[in-house]
Structure formats: structure tokens, C-alpha cells
Structure 1
Amino acid sequence: MGEPEPQPGPEGGSAGRRFTWEQIAARTGRGQPPQPRWLVIHRKVYDISHFHRRHPGGARVISHYAGQDATDPFTAFHLDKALVRKYMNSLLIGELAPDQPSFEPSKNKLLVEDFRELRTTVERLGLLKPNYLFFALHLFHILLMDIAAWLTLWYFGSSLVPFLFCALLLGTVQAQAGWLQHDFGHLSVFSKSKWNHVVHKFVIGHLKGAPASWWNHLHFQHHAKPNCFRKDPDVNMHPLFFALGKTLSVELGMKKKKFMPYNYQHKYFFIIGPPALVPLYFQWYIFYFAVQRKQWVDLAWMLSFYIRFFFSYSPLLGVKGLLGLFLLVRFIESNWFVWVTQMNHIPMHIDYDNNMDWFSTQLQATCNVQQSLFNDWFSGHLNFQIEHHLFPTMPRHNYWKVAPLVKSMCAKHGIEYQCKPLFTAFADIVYSLKDSGELWLDAYLHK
């Protein structure tokens, strides 16, 4: 039997059509010929088959919710929802039929309702409002260290100790600027998206030498579907370099795939992971990305960083010394970045997209690190990764305020809320790689 045709509503027209969840689930853009891409927001059904390529947040991030309810991610990612809805009207093709539940049948209705109530509480308490002084001081301390690094070489000379101290300061600048650009990229600072985008280009482009469009393309996908293989770019290294997660590692072994000796991945992680990601991969790929996608404004901001760096340090160090300093700074930044960003995710559940509710999706993929002044500064408040994932536009200085509410909700629904000491979180990266490598080897040899 064929699928029943959507029925027109009382008002008639395409926007009056009624759909079932079964019909929505079939419109994922896959198949031969490819199916349309539909998604649901607040019971309204939208056809994004053509729009997804023009989506400001990226084609993939919205496509990851094709065939699904996107209500909670829509709420989480957008600042001016009323404005966005005006542009969505042209995509509206109907709504769920009256006999259809507001939530997908596979999802926990009570959990979804409780999270949406929590979101309302967060907004009422003003936890999405930024403290501008906090971000101004953070930017100031980055610029201060940047100036201090140059003054160190100018005053003390280019001998080993001043050289290393300068590199340490510049590595810290890069790491802290990375956390700051993250704030602007998530629209966490200004109430208008436009101003966040402008300052984001300055921080990531001029202070770090990377394109804002590249960060947006990758990072929003990660937040939309964290630790979901084929949807989260951060875990798409599987299986080229690492076997990640219990499910995927066993699957890889059963298929007899061996791109790397995964049973040793907890050892070679120290070689091709923290020290190599930024200087050996990101460093060239960001230029390829900007040129290939014709992001000329981003490329101009990037070049301003490299021009400034060259004219600041080549008179003090010469070309060889300049290159040595640059690579050392990238090495420091890379180690800092990888350990901090992966301590919250690699030890957690990694699998294919199972279309879970927003709250469960984020809690199974993220964990926290204990709060302290140092941990907050060192990680750019990403020690509150759970709260950040649940409320990506929340200013980071408010994470600790919402954390008790999130813990309470986890306790109510029997969901584990993981919070670890900093070095335990680091060690768990290695332990989880070791465990998944052993699972792969066992499946590879015996199944």
C-alpha cells in the first residue's frame, strides 16, 4: 500500500496540510531519488529541501534534523526568534495532524516538557543576558598578554629564556582568544547577531588567523548532534585515526577494518592528537577552506593576523626565529585546545544519531569538570560543558548559576550528571581510547 497523502486543513492551501510523524520521518533527503527534507518546529512542518543550502548557520546543521522535531535546537540556537519565523513562513507547508502528539512517539514527553519549562525559567531569571564588563576584561587581558610577549623580546632580547617566555605568553593568547571567539560565535555577548558576527571575525581572524565561517561550519554541527557519527565533525575522524565509542569500535572490528592499529591508539594519541592537530592539520586546512568556499572577508581578516605577526617579530628574530616562534606557539595552543575540548566528549557515549530529545542528546555526549577559578579560566568555562550544550547562547559567566537546576532535573529523571576533577577528565580520554581500542581488537579477532 502507498503512503496516504497529507490532508488539507480547513483553511486549504499547502500551509493547511496535515501530516503524521511517520510521514515526517521519511523526509530526510536520503533515498533514490532523494526524498524532500522536512522538519517540525512547534508542530509546524517546514520544507527545507532548497533552503538548507542558504541556511545562515550552514547547510548541514539544519539538514541533520531533516525528518525530525527541531523545536528545541531551533530555540537553543536563535536569538531573535520572531525575526527568524518571518523568513520561515515561505518554507511552511503544513502542521501535524490534530491526532498527532506534539512530541515524536519515541521521545519522553515528561522529559521534553520539563526541559522546556527549565528553558523558560532560565529566560525569566535573566541567565541569557551577558555581563559586558566580563567580556571586555577578558579581551583586555588577552591584548595585554599579546603586548607583553612582544615587549619581552624587545627588552630582554632573543636568548632562550625570553624566547620561551614569549612563546608561552603567545600560546596563552591563542588559547584564550580561542575561548573568546567561541563566545562571539555562539552569539553569547551581544543581543544582536550582527554585532556578535562582526567581533567574532575580529577575534578569530585578526587575533588567531582562522576563518569564522570555518568555525561556524564545524562547531554548529557538533552542537546540533554531539558525538553522533556522520553528523558531528568532531568524531568523524573515526575510523581514519581512532576507534571511538563502544558501539562504533565493535562495528569496525566486526567489519574487519584496520586503518590504524587501534589497540595502540591510547599511545599514538599523544603523537597525532594534542601536539599535531593545530600545526599539522588546522594550519593548512583553514586556508584551503577559506579559498575553496570563497570566504574572502574571512581570508582578509586571517591575513591581517599573519602580516601583523611577521612585522612584529621578524625584526627581533629574523625569518628562522620567526618560524620557530610561530610553530612553538601553535604547538602550545594545540595541546591546550585538544585536551580541554576532548575531555568532555571522547569519554562519553559515541554512536549514530538515535534521534533522542535535546536534553538526553546533550547529557549523554558531555560531562563537566569541577569548578575553580583556574579551571574556569583555563578551559574558558568549558568545564561547564553540559550547561553550555544545553544553552549554547548563554554567556559563560552564568553557567554556574544554572548548573544546580540542571542537576536537579537529571536527578528527577534518573540521568547521570558527570562532573570530574580536571586531571581525571584528562586521564579519562586516554582510558576511553584504550578501552575502545581493546573492544575493536576483540571484535576484529574473534567475531
Structure 2
Amino acid sequence: MAPQTGSTEKERKPVSTFLQLFTWEEVRIRNGRGPSKEQWLVIDRNVYDVSNFSGRHPGGSRVIGHYAGQDATDAFVAFHSDKALVKKYLKSLLIGELAPDQPSFETNKKKSLLEDFRELRCTVEKMGLLNPDSTFFSLIFLHLLVLDAASWLTVWYFGISLVPFIVGMAFFTVAQIQMGWFQHDLGHCSVFRKPKWNHLLQIIVINTLKGLPASWWNHLHNQHHAKPNCFRKDPDLNMHPLLFSLGKTLSVELGKKKKKFMPYNYQHKYFSCEYLRFPIMLYLESTWFIWVTQMNHIPMHIDYDKNKDWVSTQLHATCNVNQSLFNDWFTGHLNFQIEHHLFPTMPRHNYWKAAPLVKALCDKHGIEYKSKTLLRAFVDILNSLKESGEYWLEAYLHG
């Protein structure tokens, strides 16, 4: 069954008599960590057994496993733009539904917030904000191809003396980073209406033009969106487990265990130096990419998965950077990280239209909608690393 986005309790169908009934407790223990390794999850009150399906899940086995034992309704809706495509998978996995006396939302979920968010999603869909603009993305693709061609033509025509080499390298670096933002759009299926066309062009862009496997990127990035800033579930936190200590929880934990793989109290100083091992062009591109992608998350709350509702999970782990033409281009519109995380398949040219609606939702429920300048966002990465390092040092010396 496809989930009913924006549905309320009164609108839901009556409980079917032929399906087995379950409690939340029965679902929670099927989280993949017990002796049986069973993985169950709930989508719109229906209970699905994904134990054997997770290995065949197109988005990767881990991303679906991160919601084992939990309510995956809003995550499911957010990730799957083509509901007809996934209906055939869901039907064979359905094993029952929640008993009538079980709430639609787990006790640690914010019912009114989720109801309002589902109504907001319906509004977003009616406004057409999930529909891509082919002209916009055609121009994006054209401009990165022009930059890439300019880099090679500069060196070919003017030779490899210092100035042409630097200019060509600058063109190539910008082209590569813009290709990264574009393949990100394709990976989220926000460029074409049909997923297959997004996947095909993504393979061309990231595999051919950037030299990286699309499947590897999608596998990691889907997990990041499913559980941002959650230890052991967000792979972005595990990229350099020995080099950095992120957040108060992990920093104190490492300190009390007397683990000192690096002098974490100096991590804000060696953060950029990590990438000096790359050649110059890769250093510039990597630095650009890392600063843009991490400025939205590292300064925010980092902890283990607390099974919070979809909206709270995304908002507590994500912040925005103020809009401007330069910021939009420089970040590939990832300055609207809040909107991107709440609506992963939304085309980036519509983020600014959704932002006031999201901000109104946050204001209503007393949730901070954090947006800052680009410079402030960069500085906050270092401030956050410095603070985490101090937590580690205090726990290491006195814990």
C-alpha cells in the first residue's frame, strides 16, 4: 500500500480483518539487532517485514535497515517520488498492521508536528514544487560543460606555462564541483520525472566526468539523509573516525575511554590541513566540497539515533545559509539544506519557494529555523570542532 501523505486519523481506512495485528513493542524489537536479525518497519500503520528485501533495496540495504523497528512513513514518502513503482515491492512485504489501540505515532513522536508537516507536504505537491524545470537544469548542465571545455581549451591553446595552467586549473576545479552538485540533483531524482533518466545521466556525470561510482555515492548519501548526524547511521560522521571527534556525546565518550587517536583539542586547527595530501586541483575541489557540505551539519546537534520524528530529525541536524545568487551557485543551492532534507526529491530551483512555508511550520512549533551568512557558516565549523575537542580533553583528563 502506498502511504497516505497528509492523511489524518479520521481519514484512515478501517482496520482490515485478514491482516495480523501488532503492537509498537513487537515492531521495535525487530530492529535487526536481535538473534533473528528480523527487520520490520511501519509505513502508514502497515507493518512490513524487510528482512529479506533489504539486500535488494534499490537505495541500499543500510538505509532501509536504519528504520528497522521504527515508523518509516515520512522517510518513505520523502525518498520515493514514483509511488506506483514501489507499490509492487510493498505488497509482497506486508505482514500486518498496527492494532486499533496502537497510536499512529509512537509515544516519542510529536503528533501535531507530523500532522502539520504532512499537510505542508500536500501543499508543496499541489503548488508543483516537486516538479522539475527542464530549462533550469539544461542551463546548469550546459554551464558545467562549458567550464570543463574551457579548462582544456585554455591549456591546449595557450600551452602549459604558469598563467594558462592556473586559469585552466581554475576552470576545471569549478567545473568539477558544479558537476558534483548536478550529480547530487540526479541522485535525488529531481532533474527528470522518471527515476531511470536521472540514474542514467548521473552515471554519465559522476562515472565518466568525475571518475567516481554512482552506486557508491548513492549508497552513502541515502543513509545520510535517512539519519543525519546520527552516529553509526550517518556515514558522513564516519568518514574520518580517527581524525575528528564530533559532537559532545562522542567526544566525552572517547575521552572517558582514554582514546587519543589524534589531539582532538587541536582538530579545529588541522581540519583544512587534512586535504593537503591531494594534488592542487583535488585539494581545491575537496576543500570547497567539504566546507560546503559540512557547514550545514557539523555545527548542529550530533548524537546517536533517538528515533525522533522525521521533521525533528532533519531540523535538529541541519541549518541553512542565507540566500543570494552567489551563495546559490557556490553551494549548488545546498544553502537551503533544511528544505533539501525535508524534501529530498524537490528540484533545487524551488527551495526558495518552500522556505517560507517551512519557516512558518517551525515558528508554529517553536523549532529554531537556523540560517546564517556564508562566512559565519564556515567559521562555525571550526568553532564546533574546537568545542568538541574541549569536551574530549576534559573527559580525557578528568573523566
Return the TM-score normalized by structure 1. Answer: 0.85
Q: Which amino acid aligns with 1:28?
A: N
Alignment correspondent of 2:388: 436
Q: Which amino acid aligns with 2:44?
A: H
Alignment correspondent of 2:23: 20
SS of 1:94's equivalent in the other structure is strand
Kept in 2, the 8 Å contact 1:250–1:440? The answer is yes
Alignment correspondent of 2:323: 371
1:256 Cα deviation (Å)? 1.6
Kept in 2, the 8 Å contact 1:238–1:244? The answer is no
Say how many residue pairs are matched: 385
Where does 1:119-130 land on structure 2 (aligned, <5 Å)? 119-130=121-132
1:244 Cα deviation (Å)? 0.4
1:219 Cα deviation (Å)? 0.2
1:35 Cα deviation (Å)? 3.5
In 2, Cα distance between equivalents of 1:446 and 1:254: 8
1:154 Cα deviation (Å)? 1.8
1:237 Cα deviation (Å)? 4.0
Structure 2 residues not aligned, in runs of 5+ = 1-14
1:238 Cα deviation (Å)? 6.2
Where does 1:417-428 land on structure 2 (aligned, <5 Å)? 417-428=369-380
**Aligned match of 1:248 in 230, 247, 250?**
250
Alignment correspondent of 2:354: 402
SS of 2:89's equivalent in the other structure is helix
Alignment correspondent of 1:235: 237
**Aligned match of 2:55 in 48, 53, 63?**
53
SS of 2:230's equivalent in the other structure is coil
Alignment correspondent of 1:66: 68
1:77 Cα deviation (Å)? 0.4
Alignment correspondent of 2:103: 101
Kept in 2, the 8 Å contact 1:168–1:332? The answer is no
Alignment correspondent of 1:360: 312
Where does 1:254-333 land on structure 2 (aligned, <5 Å)? 254-272=256-274, 274-276=275-277, 279=278, 327-333=279-285
In 2, Cα distance between equivalents of 1:231 and 1:395: 25
In 2, Cα distance between equivalents of 1:267 and 1:83: 48
Alignment correspondent of 1:291: none
- 1:383 matched to 2:335: yes
Kept in 2, the 8 Å contact 1:73–1:224? The answer is yes
Larger of the two Rg values belongs to structure:
1
Alignment correspondent of 2:12: none
SS of 1:66's equivalent in the other structure is coil
In 2, Cα distance between equivalents of 1:421 and 1:126: 29
- 1:212 matched to 2:214: yes
Q: Which amino acid aligns with 1:17?
A: Q
Alignment correspondent of 1:143: 145
Alignment correspondent of 1:349: 301
Change (3 A) 1:398 1:229: same
Q: Which amino acid aligns with 1:367?
A: C
Alignment correspondent of 2:344: 392
In 1, Cα distance between equivalents of 2:242 and 2:16: 53
SS of 1:30's equivalent in the other structure is coil
Kept in 2, the 8 Å contact 1:39–1:46? The answer is yes
SS of 1:93's equivalent in the other structure is strand
Kept in 2, the 8 Å contact 1:239–1:259? The answer is no
Kept in 2, the 8 Å contact 1:28–1:67? The answer is yes
Alignment correspondent of 2:38: 36
SS of 2:303's equivalent in the other structure is coil
1:260 Cα deviation (Å)? 1.1
In 2, Cα distance between equivalents of 1:122 and 1:343: 26
Kept in 2, the 8 Å contact 1:73–1:358? The answer is yes
Deviations 1:369-415, CA, capped at 9 Å, x for gaps: 01000000000000000000000000000000000011111111111
1:34 Cα deviation (Å)? 3.2
In 2, Cα distance between equivalents of 1:380 and 1:346: 19
Kept in 2, the 8 Å contact 1:275–1:335? The answer is no
Deviations 1:174-201, CA, capped at 9 Å, x for gaps: 0000000000000001111111100110
SS of 1:40's equivalent in the other structure is strand
Q: Which amino acid aligns with 2:24?
A: W
Kept in 1, the 8 Å contact 2:272–2:287? The answer is no
In 1, Cα distance between equivalents of 2:287 and 2:25: 46
1:145 Cα deviation (Å)? 1.1
SS of 2:41's equivalent in the other structure is strand
In 2, Cα distance between equivalents of 1:116 and 1:391: 11
**Aligned match of 1:190 in 172, 189, 192?**
192
In 1, Cα distance between equivalents of 2:213 and 2:38: 32
In 2, Cα distance between equivalents of 1:27 and 1:268: 42
Change (3 A) 1:437 1:10: closer
